[in-house]
Amino acid sequence: MTTRRIPLLVATATIVVTSLVASSCSSVSDDAARVGGRSLSADELDELIVSYEKSTNDPETTIAGPRGADVAREILTTWVSTSLILELIAAADGEVTAEALAESEAMLNEQAGFADADQKVRELFILDTAANATLARLLAPSTSELAAAYEQGPAVSGVVCVRAILSATKESIDVAAFRVASGESFADVAAELSIDPSGADGGVLGGPEGNQCIEFASVVETVADEFVAALENTPVGQVSTAFEIPDVGWAILLQRDFDEVGDDVAALTGSQLAASATLDAVRTAKVWVDAEYGRWDPGTSTVIALG
């Protein structure tokens, strides 16, 4: 991907960051919100609300509309969280680059309707996405540290990167296991035999935003105990023995090699650390919101209505 695809945003990357998350050097008499040395004026908030309304073409989301106050709080929540993340990035001697903005725009443009949204609201969410990705990259451990943790298993690394094959019967999963043991590609066998939708992607059990890995904690919370046990008992690079998931079927899984998923492990681990750092910042940050719009609630990390 080249940054030439989005000349307006990339050519003015610094302007985007400084205009959406403005310095408190300007007058604060009409501020809608302030976080540390950053402020958003009421006029700037109104412009974002108008931009949001243009994007949704919904008269209820106008400033005076029935949902105007809700939209204002949603926008302020995004602005505050983005500002807190930018503070963390600055503290780590990092910056949101033009390349990060370009990557975020390209990713968001894949979501239905985003490419046609009004420019101001697009810039806000592009900056938010780019800031999150930048903080995740800054906080991710080194490749050697990630690889060492990954080799010790998901309980240590905190991530699960597997391919799986699901069959209806013990006989059919034995056929799949035999073919894999005989040298056939696990991905090819999964594509041919797995009855799980992931078979179309070679059995990859991936996470959000195209990541090839999933948080181990979420797997423990959502899948059968038999699957978790197989994860914990199968070394990296190996295929599990066949196991039954009651009322679902029979399965085998492959713990993928780190060399195959290292970038995804880094992105997911960085995101986990960034989320934790952001949560800590939310709890301690000095956030001010004009009472006309509500108040900042650290417990929910959102701007909520008064009362």
Task: Answer yes or no: do 169 and 223 share one domain.
Answer: yes
Arithmetic mean of pLDDT, 185-190:
97
Task: Answer yes or no: do 126 and 17 share one domain.
Answer: yes
pLDDT digits (tens, 9 = 90+) for 69-89: 888 999 999 999 999 999 999
pLDDT of residue 59: 61
Task: Answer yes or no: do 112 and 30 share one domain.
Answer: yes
Per-residue pLDDT band for 23 (boundaries 50, 70, 90) equals very low
Tell me if 154 is assigned to some domain: no
Task: Answer yes or no: do 180 and 129 share one domain.
Answer: no
Task: Answer yes or no: do 127 and 173 share one domain.
Answer: no
Task: Answer yes or no: do 82 and 128 share one domain.
Answer: yes
Per-residue pLDDT band for 244 (boundaries 50, 70, 90) equals very high
Task: Answer yes or no: do 134 and 241 share one domain.
Answer: no
Q: Look at residue 12 and tell me whether its pLDDT is greater than 80.
A: no
Task: Please provide the distance, in angstroms rounded to a whole number, between the alpha carbons at the two ends of the chain.
Answer: 48
Q: How far apart are CA 230 and CA 242, in angstroms?
A: 9
Q: How far apart are CA 147 and CA 259, in angstroms?
A: 9
Spell out where 64-213 has E strands.
159-160, 162-167
Task: Answer yes or no: do 27 and 123 share one domain.
Answer: yes
Q: How far apart are CA 269 and CA 264, in angstroms?
A: 8
The CATH number of the domain holding residue 62 is 1.10.4030
Question: 254 has which bridge partners?
Answer: 163, 239
Task: Answer yes or no: do 197 and 98 share one domain.
Answer: no
pLDDT of residue 192: 96
The CATH number of the domain holding residue 210 is 3.10.50.40
Tell me if 38 is assigned to some domain: yes
Q: How many domains does the chain have?
A: 2
Tell me if 223 is assigned to some domain: yes
Task: Answer yes or no: do 214 and 95 share one domain.
Answer: no
pLDDT of residue 53: 85
Tell me if 153 is assigned to some domain: no
Q: What is the pTM of this model?
A: 0.71
Tell me if 148 is assigned to some domain: no
Count of positions (residues) in the chain: 307
Which residues form the domain of 60? 3-141+266-304
Task: Answer yes or no: do 216 and 246 share one domain.
Answer: yes
Residues 6+ apart with CB under 8 A from 177: 239, 241, 242, 252
Tell me if 151 is assigned to some domain: no
Tell me if 65 is assigned to some domain: yes
Q: Look at residue 247 and tell me whether its pLDDT is greater than 80.
A: yes
- Indicate the average pLDDT of the chain: 87
pLDDT of residue 60: 58
pLDDT of residue 29: 55
Residues 6+ apart with CB under 8 A from 216: 154, 155, 157, 158, 159, 160, 231
pLDDT of residue 66: 53
pLDDT of residue 165: 97
Tokens read off for 166: 């699901």
Tell me if 282 is assigned to some domain: yes
Per-residue pLDDT band for 26 (boundaries 50, 70, 90) equals very low
Task: Answer yes or no: do 129 and 189 share one domain.
Answer: no
